Structure 1
């Protein structure tokens, strides 16, 4: 399982230790090598077999320091990954957690670069609009949109195609970008930690309510049993001696009345307990929904 800030983001669907393997039905994925020399990108070589017969080899690249809903610490790592992809003659599959933020930004940069080769003018907003037409919400946050611009102009400077007259403006832009990126990253991490704490609190509430429900269920069982006992006693009670021709006299009437009153009050208590039980169940369902909503938000 791949986690970020203690939150599950992806299944560990590939073996990430040399010599390890994972089996999916008829397919077995073997890890043949792991290269961690790049501090940002882990390169894993994989071999895929179907029913024991090799069908293909794969290269898996994992970018390990690009936070969810944020921007990467490096402005050049994306171009190293793109170079790996261009050197392959096979289709490249890109994914992150939700498949819109980091994935969208990565693909958008490649689209901008490809268009800049064939056009003198490229509007970044049009590229993102087109990308979102194919993948809704691609380039998820405003900070990721700024990252597109920053990475492209930084690349232009690094490869020497930026005019020197733009250097001063570029440096100001880069300084502002880095300051904003650090601020947003801190905010996002605090938000994620807050959500994690909220989930822990909700889970404790659910546990407490579950215990309370169990306690009330036990009480209900006792009341039901007591009710049945009272009914049985009522019918099994022999007629008193002062009952003439099956018509109870005053004392007999008092006995039966007391029994009926006991049953009546017991029934009222049973109704009250059932109502409280229903309220607890409703609250438990609400808390479960809240936990699911928080979980969905944190996985985006």
Structure 2
């Protein structure tokens, strides 16, 4: 949470910040710096059009709702403790961004890769941490036997008709909310009802789906909603109707937005917005750095848990969670330079978030893209070198995967 020392001082600073934010929101925002690289002009034009998330001089989100969330979190903190650190004593957001970039550059691609590998051993949960998952191994509720669901943060289905409150889903907290996200696996045939039961119970307004139903010949998710407008599907008494469906042309990636009406057995109904990102490969990274930023902006105003899922609910899902965690920490003026520490903390809530070093590096690259748009990048030569090293590393990894795949095919 964001902290303040005294209510009066915090109130005045909040009012000043809100006034400044609203003034800047109504003005034209320009980029203070540009990067002269091979993909500069087109990428900048696309990104400036799509990524309206931050002001150029500070990284406070434009949305009034975000400012309200920040204000409310501060007010809650001040009510709990009036003698905490004052806002005036906190580091500026710009300084925190500079610190984040400096740490990233000092580690480089190799250092970031090494620290991610080290996390495998330091964040591996004990079997005592997922007893309920083990008890449900034969219940048909786990998609993967090696992707565990932690007991301490699992979502419990209250008053479920079966008497079993288990679903493979965990709450994941950020500075804005202790239950900011629900990270879950893609529904199975046997868990579609449970999934929608959870959506109704948690009063969810946004779902982000990061997987296709089938990828590389493997089933990744069961269809769990009607894809055509006005079609209604019945899942054991829970009715789901597709009200609208459109391809979001303002995204560089292929993302579909649907409005779904959910009606529970007691005839109460709610509207859920469903985003389906269809061209992010499993165990891999997307071709855009702006899409995660834009997509997170679309759901950030939610006051209820945001449901995220890919297939296992850890890889692609983890990338979005870590990106959002950094941005919220910056908005609350909290340090965020220790990415490995933050990921370790996230894995205490949802095991194995972010599956490989490629995805971990991608999170850094997407955030660097965000900070570049905000005009916060200063060490241009070092940043160019990092970007070049990143692109070379991704290229080499991609070729290695292709060679391995071809070799495996020849062996078969």
TM-score (norm 2): 0.44
Aligned to 1:29: 240
1:88 offset after TM fit, Å? 2.7
Q: Does 1:8 align with 2:223?
A: no
Aligned to 2:380: 167
Aligned to 2:262: 48
Contact 2:228-2:245 at 8 Å conserved across structures: yes
Structure number with bigger Rg = 1
Q: Gapped runs of 5+ residues in structure 1?
A: 202-300
SS of alignment partner, residue 281 of structure 2 = coil
Find the aligned partners of 1:44 and 1:195 in 2 and give their Cα distance.
Answer: 39
Change beyond 3 A, Cα 1:185–1:15: farther
Find the aligned partners of 1:178 and 1:34 in 2 and give their Cα distance.
Answer: 35
Change beyond 3 A, Cα 1:120–1:37: closer
Deviations 1:35-73 (A, max 9, x none): 113342111111112348351000011111211111111
Contact 1:2-1:8 at 8 Å conserved across structures: yes
Aligned to 2:369: 154
Change beyond 3 A, Cα 1:176–1:31: same
Contact 1:70-1:185 at 8 Å conserved across structures: no
Deviations 1:161-194 (A, max 9, x none): 222xx22222222233233324434544666687
Change beyond 3 A, Cα 1:132–1:120: closer
Find the aligned partners of 2:320 and 2:221 in 1 and give their Cα distance.
Answer: 18
Q: 1:145 aligns with which of 355, 360, 379?
A: 360
Number of aligned positions between the proteins? 197
Contact 1:29-1:49 at 8 Å conserved across structures: yes
Q: Does 1:181 align with 2:400?
A: no
Q: Tell me the C-alpha RMSD between the 2 structures.
A: 2.5
Hey, which of these two has a bigger chunk of helix by percent?
A: 1
Change beyond 3 A, Cα 1:136–1:52: closer
Superposed, 1:218-237 pairs within 5 Å as: none
Q: Gapped runs of 5+ residues in structure 2?
A: 1-211
TM-score (norm 1): 0.59
For CA contacts below 8 A with separation 6 or more, give which structure has more relative contact order. Answer: 2
Contact 2:245-2:256 at 8 Å conserved across structures: yes
Contact 1:71-1:144 at 8 Å conserved across structures: yes
